[in-house]
């Protein structure tokens, strides 16, 4: 059989609501003009079947983290599954992806499990999984501009990490970027990233949902390209996490994958990745998907609870999101709720929530076993702990928790936890630094107090 080259393969936008609208990936378009549904990128699966599962595995493994630019990137190593017809010279990559999958044995045994892994998507250029989607979106913009599409700037509303990724990839390719942030609601690290990368940083007196409304209006002109996750190009990069996880587990699916969800694009992306792996024969079974939300920003959890089931037709009502330590998922009107519900339905999934106390303690518990979990990862870990305690996840089952950002981006959360200054929280696992005079006796006393006298 002839092995397909990138030239034979193609992908296009299609209406995700099932009407037969299609558009090329080089068109400036975010919604179906017929039904206003979100778009998704559709691939020619029959053409992709021109390579066998074994050939795909060998191709992906051969490129993984290697030096053949840009195919050593975790995203562009799977270019045929992401954006096959994109010209390689238009790829804007910071070698995103290829992140560690680490086993948390001590943490697992503490919560009564045996086989828990953390996929560290935050160990990447700007410190969050947003790099995976942004490399695809900014590369697509570069390709459009090269073809004469008059895009002046790329814009996004952000809870912090999206703007950091957008600013970095735009700076790397010389494309202007505009980011709209809710004033006072993003961490210092998140704010300083787009500032450093030269974005036009606009702090608005509102929350994320308010920023989102403004940026949608701003991008009504095709000259301002919208980078939010309603833009389905980002989903294509983010879905490669599923391929990496499966590859890192020796081409097998785990029993469960747990992911924190805010705007819910990433949950949909993960589901899409696993379905593609199954449809192309790289795995024979799907994991079950858990979407974990902060109790203070839980529109999906409420919707599924009210309906008594998780399916694509469950209506998700917007809520006013309350303040949560998991600031990147403080979202009351998730744009991609339907994408997530479709993924949950296809992957026999469920939705769990975590209180502020639960997410903070879960992050601290994982840290004490060597992790350094951001608060969103804390939400996913808390969901794992609750599902394990309820017997839904059984001790021998293999679980992969998706860590969405690097803990270092949220040092205020970490410091506040251990200093005991987070409002309303009683940190059960505090480990504050001990202040001492500079004497041997004082230090020996402190050591004895912690570990017992010799």
- Residues found near Zn ion in the complex (CB under 5 A): 15, 17, 19, 21, 32, 34-35, 37
Written as six digits, the tokens of 74 are 């975790």
In the complex, least distance from residue 345 CB atom to ligand PLP, rounded to whole angstroms: 17
SS (H, E, C) 386-447: HHHHCCCCCCCCEEEEEECEEHHHHHHHHHHHHHCCCCCCCCCCCCCCCCCCCCHHHHHHHH
In the complex, least distance from residue 398 CB atom to ligand PLP, rounded to whole angstroms: 22
- How do 11-15 and 22-23 pair as beta strands? antiparallel
Choosing among Zn ion, ligand PLP, none, which partner's interface includes residue 405 (Cβ < 5 to 8 Å by kind)? ligand PLP
Give the Cα separation of 454 and 434 in Å (integer). Answer: 20
- Helices 356-367 and 411-419 cross at an angle (nearest 10°) of 90
For residue 379, report the phi and psi dihedrals to the nearest 5 degrees. -65, -45
Between 41 and 291, CB nearer to Zn ion: 41
Give the Cα separation of 131 and 354 in Å (integer). Answer: 26
Choosing among Zn ion, ligand PLP, none, which partner's interface includes residue 17 (Cβ < 5 to 8 Å by kind)? Zn ion
Choosing among Zn ion, ligand PLP, none, which partner's interface includes residue 262 (Cβ < 5 to 8 Å by kind)? ligand PLP
In the complex, least distance from residue 12 CB atom to Zn ion, rounded to whole angstroms: 14
Choosing among Zn ion, ligand PLP, none, which partner's interface includes residue 288 (Cβ < 5 to 8 Å by kind)? none
Choosing among ligand PLP, Zn ion, none, which partner's interface includes residue 264 (Cβ < 5 to 8 Å by kind)? ligand PLP
**Vertex 197 angle, CA 193 and 201, to 5°:** 70
Choosing among ligand PLP, Zn ion, none, which partner's interface includes residue 445 (Cβ < 5 to 8 Å by kind)? none
Between 32 and 270, CB nearer to Zn ion: 32
In the complex, least distance from residue 42 CB atom to ligand PLP, rounded to whole angstroms: 20
In the complex, least distance from residue 205 CB atom to ligand PLP, rounded to whole angstroms: 22
Choosing among Zn ion, ligand PLP, none, which partner's interface includes residue 366 (Cβ < 5 to 8 Å by kind)? none
Between 73 and 128, CB nearer to ligand PLP: 128
In the complex, least distance from residue 313 CB atom to Zn ion, rounded to whole angstroms: 16
In the complex, least distance from residue 82 CB atom to ligand PLP, rounded to whole angstroms: 17
**Vertex 69 angle, CA 66 and 70, to 5°:** 100
Between 11 and 326, CB nearer to Zn ion: 11
- Helices 240-248 and 53-63 cross at an angle (nearest 10°) of 90
Choosing among ligand PLP, Zn ion, none, which partner's interface includes residue 37 (Cβ < 5 to 8 Å by kind)? Zn ion
Written as six digits, the tokens of 39 are 């778009």
Give the Cα separation of 411 and 42 in Å (integer). Answer: 39
Residues that bind ligand PLP (CB under 6 A): 128, 130, 161, 229, 260-267, 328-329, 374, 376, 404-405
Q: How far is CA 223 from CA 145, 180, 219, 230, 302, in A?
A: 11, 17, 7, 18, 38
Written as six digits, the tokens of 246 are 């499966």
Between 35 and 306, CB nearer to Zn ion: 35
Choosing among Zn ion, ligand PLP, none, which partner's interface includes residue 376 (Cβ < 5 to 8 Å by kind)? ligand PLP
Between 84 and 260, CB nearer to ligand PLP: 260
In the complex, least distance from residue 130 CB atom to ligand PLP, rounded to whole angstroms: 6
* 352 CB burial (10 A radius; 0-12, 13-18, 19+): buried
In the complex, least distance from residue 354 CB atom to ligand PLP, rounded to whole angstroms: 13
Give the Cα separation of 195 and 303 in Å (integer). Answer: 37
Between 329 and 335, CB nearer to Zn ion: 335
Give the Cα separation of 142 and 93 in Å (integer). Answer: 12
SS (H, E, C) 180-231: EEECCCCCHHHHHHHHHCCCEEEEECCCHHHHHHHHHHHCCCCCEEECCCCC
- Nearest CA to 354 among 320, 335, 333, 377? 377
Between 171 and 326, CB nearer to ligand PLP: 326
Choosing among ligand PLP, Zn ion, none, which partner's interface includes residue 237 (Cβ < 5 to 8 Å by kind)? none
Between 178 and 235, CB nearer to ligand PLP: 235
Between 9 and 343, CB nearer to ligand PLP: 343
In the complex, least distance from residue 42 CB atom to Zn ion, rounded to whole angstroms: 13
């Amino acid at each position: 059989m002839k092995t397909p080259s990138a030239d034979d393969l193609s992908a296009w936008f299609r209406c995700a609501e099932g009407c037969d609208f299609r558009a090329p990936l080089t068109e400036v378009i975010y919604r179906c003009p017929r039904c206003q549904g979100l778009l998704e990128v559709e691939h020619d699966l029959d053409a992709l079947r021109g390579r066998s599962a074994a050939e795909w595995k060998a191709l992906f493994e051969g490129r993984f983290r290697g030096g053949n630019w840009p195919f050593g990137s975790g995203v562009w190593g799977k270019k045929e599954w992401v954006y096959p017809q994109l010209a390689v010279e238009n790829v804007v990559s910071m070698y995103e992806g290829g992140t560690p999958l680490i086993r948390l044995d001590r943490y697992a045994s503490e919560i009564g499990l045996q086989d828990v892994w953390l996929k560290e998507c935050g160990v990447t250029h700007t410190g969050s999984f947003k790099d995976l989607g942004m490399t695809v979106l900014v590369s697509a913009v570069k390709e459009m501009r090269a073809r004469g599409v008059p895009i002046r700037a790329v814009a996004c509303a952000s809870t912090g990490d999206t703007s950091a990724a957008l600013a970095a990839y735009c700076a790397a390719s010389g494309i202007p970027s505009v980011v709209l942030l809710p004033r006072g609601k993003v961490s210092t690290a998140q704010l300083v990233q787009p500032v450093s990368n030269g974005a036009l940083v606009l702090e608005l007196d509102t929350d994320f949902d308010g920023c989102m409304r403004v940026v949608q209006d701003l991008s009504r002109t095709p000259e301002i390209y919208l980078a939010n996750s309603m833009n389905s190009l980002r989903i294509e990069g983010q879905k490669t996490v599923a391929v990496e996880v499966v590859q890192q587990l020796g081409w097998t699916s785990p029993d469960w994958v747990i992911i924190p969800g805010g705007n819910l694009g990433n949950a949909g992306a993960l589901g899409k990745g696993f379905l593609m792996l199954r449809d192309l024969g790289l795995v024979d079974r799907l994991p079950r998907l858990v979407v974990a939300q902060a109790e203070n920003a839980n529109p999906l959890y409420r919707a599924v609870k009210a309906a008594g089931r998780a399916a694509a037709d469950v209506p998700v009502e917007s809520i006013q999101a309350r303040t949560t330590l998991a600031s990147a998922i403080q979202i009351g009107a998730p744009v991609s709720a339907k994408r997530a519900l479709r993924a949950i339905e296809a992957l026999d999934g469920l939705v769990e929530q975590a209180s502020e106390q639960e997410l903070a303690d879960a992050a601290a518990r994982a840290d004490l076993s060597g992790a350094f979990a951001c608060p969103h990862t804390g939400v996913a870990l808390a969901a794992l702990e609750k599902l394990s305690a309820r017997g839904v996840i059984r001790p021998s089952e293999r679980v992969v928790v998706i860590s969405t950002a690097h803990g270092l981006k949220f040092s205020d959360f970490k410091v506040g936890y251990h200093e005991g200054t987070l409002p309303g929280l009683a940190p059960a696992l505090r480990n504050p630094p001990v202040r001492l005079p500079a004497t041997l006796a004082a230090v020996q006393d402190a050591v004895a107090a912690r570990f017992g006298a010799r």
